[in-house]
Each structure stands twice: as C-alpha cells, then as structure tokens.
Amino acid sequence: MTASWLGPGKASAVALTFDVDAETGVLSMGEKYARHAMTMTHQAFGPDVGVPRILGILRELGVPATFFFPGWVAERRPNLVARVVEAGHEVAHHSYSHVPATSMTFAEERNDFERALEVFQKQDVPVYGHRAGLWEASWQTASLVAEYGLAYDSSMMNDDRPYHVPTERGDVVELPPHWSLDDWEQYAFLPAPQIGSIIEDPQKVLSMWKYELDAMRRYNSLFMLTNHPFLTGRPGRAEALRSLIEYGMSHGDVEFLTCREIAERAKADTSLATRPLEQPEIEPGLFPSE
C-alpha cells in the first residue's frame, strides 16, 4: 500500500505557519526605514506581542505550528526562538535578511542562506525547511535546500498539494503556499514604505479562509496558512485565527500538522506529483525588456 501524506480518513491537512519577519519585513525593502521609529515599532510588535499571543492561542487549542524566522531576527531574539521550541512548535529557515533571492546573485543567496543556518546552529535549534523571503525564491533555491540537507521548501505555487522537486543535489518536498491564504494581502498597511491600502475586516477574512478550507477538504489539498505576527497578532485578527482553528477542529477529517510532519509524509508518498523547476526560455525581443 502506498504511503499517503494525509492520515487515514483525513480530507485535508492544515499547516499553520507564522513568518516572524519583524523589522526585516521592511528593512529588506531599504535600510533607510531603520530611521522610521513608527515603522520599526510596528514591525517589532510581531515578536514582542504577536508571537506570545499566538503561542497562547495555540496552547489553548492544542495545535502545532511552524514559525519561520529570518536569521537576523533569531540572532537578536534567541529567547523568543527558544520559547517557540519549548512550546513544542517547529522553527524553520526564512533566509537571513528577508531580502528576495531574486534580487541576489547566486553567491549572495548562498551566503545569506548559510548565515541563517549558522544562527540556528549556534542556538542548537534544528531546522528542516526553508521559505524564501517574500516567497521570492530563485531557480537555484531548491538546490540550496537540498544541498544543506533540509527536507522541504515552502515558496513555490504550482500545486495545492505537496509535491516533489528534483534537483542535482537530491529531491526536495515543496509545501506550496498561496497569496489567498496570506494575511499580508488582507491586513498589511504602512505609510512608509507604502504598503497596502485597505485593512480588511477580520470577519471577512475568516469567511474567506473557511470557504477555502471547505474546498480543500473536497479536493484533498494542503491548507497552508501564512500569517505574520505583526499583523495577525493584533487582537481582532488573533481572535479570527482562533475561530478559524476551531472551525477546522470541528471537522473530523482535518488534521493540524507542522511543515516538517507533512514533508516527512510527503517524501514517502510516491503518488504525489514530481515537478521539475525549469526556467522558461525567452525568445529575444518577444517580451518587454527590463
């Protein structure tokens, strides 16, 4: 019998993931924003208040989650990383600087990737997966993930189930996210840098995500929720998150897992698709140049 990434009798799996970007979420757009006290404190709300609040909700409901830390953030807040680990959750690699890999040379991407790994190694925190800053993975990112022995990536979007990505360094499990399950598009707003325009009603967001979960149960998909503690950690949004988790728990065919747990199952599931990463060949002059 073929191993399945879904447990017996389960229609969908939920991965609750939290990108603890803190200040890097803005500094990766320009170091000049370090001079903006409002902006920096807005971002610091995530690790200072949002993460503890979210950890409390997860503890009360008894569900696991995965926290993606940029190395820069983990380096400056080792006690927060330790607190996440002590609570029984997974800590994962989210680059060092949160600068998009697509804006780097491959050598720069490798250096950034390694620098984050060194932070977690010094803190004796094992990491099993990676998520590119802003999901902006390069065509080489999956190879780096495989080269350094990580089990999964969570940046690519060409499926709504886990899938296998072959690289010259070995296969990587891809746990695909999507913008529709990201709180950034719903809640993000800043005047400097200018981000977003409308702050959505948490009840509207909750309704949308419930509908997505119901559809994913129908299609046996992975519900990969991506939240940011500086956004979802705000009170009304945190309560919407609680309601979403309770809604998922009310269905007997939904299971809550860490990304590592899903990746381990998916690795053994040969029925999942294999999708090589192939950059399109572009005919010169056909499309607008940069």
DSSP string, 111-141: HHHHHHHHHHHHTT----EE--GGG---TTH
Token pair belonging to 221? 């998909």
Question: Which position has the token pair 């610091």?
Answer: 44
Alpha-carbon distance of 213 to 94, in angstroms, equals: 25
Q: Which residues contact 207 (CB under 8 A, 6 or more apart)?
A: none
Q: What is the pLDDT of residues 144-173, one digit of tens each?
A: 999 999 999 999 999 999 999 999 999 999
**pLDDT score of 223 more than 70:** yes
Alpha-helical segments (H) within 178-280: 184-187, 202-219, 229-232, 235-249, 259-268
Give yes or no for a contact between 269 and 234, defined as CB atoms under 8 angstroms apart: no
**pLDDT score of 197 more than 90:** no
Q: What is the pLDDT of residues 115-128, one digit of tens each?
A: 999 999 999 999 99
Alpha-carbon distance of 56 to 89, in angstroms, equals: 12
Mean pLDDT over residues 224-231, rounded? 99
How confident is residue 196, by pLDDT bands cut at 50, 70 and 90? Answer: confident
How confident is residue 290, by pLDDT bands cut at 50, 70 and 90? Answer: confident
Mean pLDDT over residues 51-75, rounded? 99
Q: Which residues contact 290 (CB under 8 A, 6 or more apart)?
A: none
Q: Is the pTM of this model over 0.85?
A: yes
Q: What is the mean pLDDT of the chain?
A: 97
Mean pLDDT over residues 85-108, rounded? 98
Strand 163-167 to 170-174 pairing: antiparallel
Q: Which residues contact 279 (CB under 8 A, 6 or more apart)?
A: 139
Mean pLDDT over residues 57-73, rounded? 99
Is the model more confident about 1 or about 179? 179
Strand 163-167 to 152-153 pairing: unpaired
Q: What is the pLDDT of residues 14-60, one digit of tens each?
A: 999 999 999 999 999 999 999 999 999 999 999 999 999 999 999 99
H or E segment and range at residue 76 = helix 71-76
How confident is residue 289, by pLDDT bands cut at 50, 70 and 90? Answer: confident
**pLDDT score of 208 more than 80:** yes
Give pLDDT, residue 2.
59
Give pLDDT, residue 173.
99
Long-range interactions of 108-112: CB distance < 8 A, separation 24+: 109/138, 109/140, 109/141, 109/144, 110/144
Q: For 202, how many CA atoms within 13 A lie in the half-sphere containing its CB? A: 15
In the three-class reduction of DSSP (H, G, I as helix; E, B as strand; rest coil), residue 172 is classed as strand
Structural domains in the chain, sorted by start: 12-268 (3.20.20.370)
Give yes or no for a contact between 154 and 175, defined as CB atoms under 8 angstroms apart: yes
Give yes or no for a contact between 232 and 172, defined as CB atoms under 8 angstroms apart: no
